Amino acid sequence: MEPKLTIIIPVLNESKYIDNLLSRLLQSSDIRFIQIIVVDGGSQDDTVALAKKYPIEIYTCSQQSRASQMNYGAKYAKANILYFVHADTLPPLSFYQDILTAIEHGNNFGFFRQKFDSKKLALLINSFFTRFNFLLNRGGDQSMYISKELFEKLNGFDEKYVIMEEYNLMDRAEEFSSRFVIPKYTIVSDRKYDRCSWIKVQLANFHAMKMYKQACDPRLIKSEYIRRLGI
C-alpha cells in the first residue's frame, strides 16, 4: 500500500527533541498511510541512534542546510503530499486527516497555527497572531504541507537560501495556489527564547525579513541574523 503522506524532518543535533516528535507522528496516524523520512545533516549527538528505534527511513545529506536536507528527503517521497516538520515542533494529533482534507478542498499548500510550549505572555501573543495569514507568521515552526506536484513544479526549495527557505518557497508557490492556514496548532519549543530575550528575537526576525524582501544574499541574512541573536 502506497503512503498518502510523506513527512520529511531535517535534523542536526536534535537528540533532545527527535524522540518526542517521532512518537507523536506514529501515535497520531496509521503507519500504513504515512512515510517518515529523517534527513540528517551530520549530527554529532544521538539523533540518528534515537531515530533508528522507529519504523522510518533515515538518510544523510552532505549539506548542513535545511533547504538541501528537505530537497534530499523529497527525492525519496512515495506519497503525493509532502509535510515538512522541524524536529522541535509537535503537530496536532489530527495532522494527517487535517492535511488530507485541506488538499481535497484544493488547498495545495499551507501551514498550521502555532503555540509555544511556554506560558510567557509575549509568546502567547506571538501564538495568537499565527491564526492570521501574514507572511511574517509563516515560518517553518508552523510546519508546511504541499502537494508533491506543486513542489516539483517549483523545483523544490532554492538551496541558496540557507535561511528563509520556507518563505522563498511560499512566495513562489503563491503564483499557483493560495496558502491555507489549518485552524489547529503545532506546539513549538521556546528554546530560541531561552537563549535570547523576546525583543532580541523579534528584532532579529524583523531584520531578516526586511533583508529577504530587499533580495539580500541569503548568506548575509543568516550571518546578520546570528549576529543579532548573539549565538
**120 and 29, same structural domain?**
yes
The CATH number for 161's domain is 3.90.550.10
Please tell me the predicted confidence (pLDDT) of residue 118.
56
| CA separation for the pair 225, 222 (Å, rounded) | 5
**201 and 164, same structural domain?**
no
The pairing of beta strand 109-116 with beta strand 81-84: unpaired
Please tell me the predicted confidence (pLDDT) of residue 22.
98
Please tell me the predicted confidence (pLDDT) of residue 37.
99
**9 and 101, same structural domain?**
yes
State the total domains in the chain: 2
**179 and 86, same structural domain?**
yes
**221 and 143, same structural domain?**
no
Paired strand residues for 11: 40
Q: Per-residue pLDDT tens, the chain, 231 aa: give them.
A: 789 999 999 999 999 999 999 999 999 888 889 999 999 999 999 999 999 999 999 999 999 999 999 999 999 999 999 999 999 999 999 999 999 999 999 999 999 998 887 555 444 455 444 544 444 455 557 899 999 999 999 999 999 999 999 999 999 999 999 889 999 999 988 776 677 777 888 888 899 999 999 999 999 999 999 999 887
**164 and 214, same structural domain?**
no
100 vs 9, 89, 96, 157, 206, CA distance in Å?
A: 19, 19, 6, 22, 33
Please tell me the predicted confidence (pLDDT) of residue 126.
54
| CA separation for the pair 34, 5 (Å, rounded) | 5
Please tell me the predicted confidence (pLDDT) of residue 40.
99
**172 and 204, same structural domain?**
no
**154 and 123, same structural domain?**
yes
**156 and 46, same structural domain?**
yes
Instruction: Record the cell numbers describing residue 32, joined without a space.
Output: 500504513
Please tell me the predicted confidence (pLDDT) of residue 132.
47
Domain encompassing residue 83: 5-191
User: Which of 200, 206, 108, 212 minimizes the C-alpha distance to 150?
Assistant: 108
**215 and 122, same structural domain?**
no
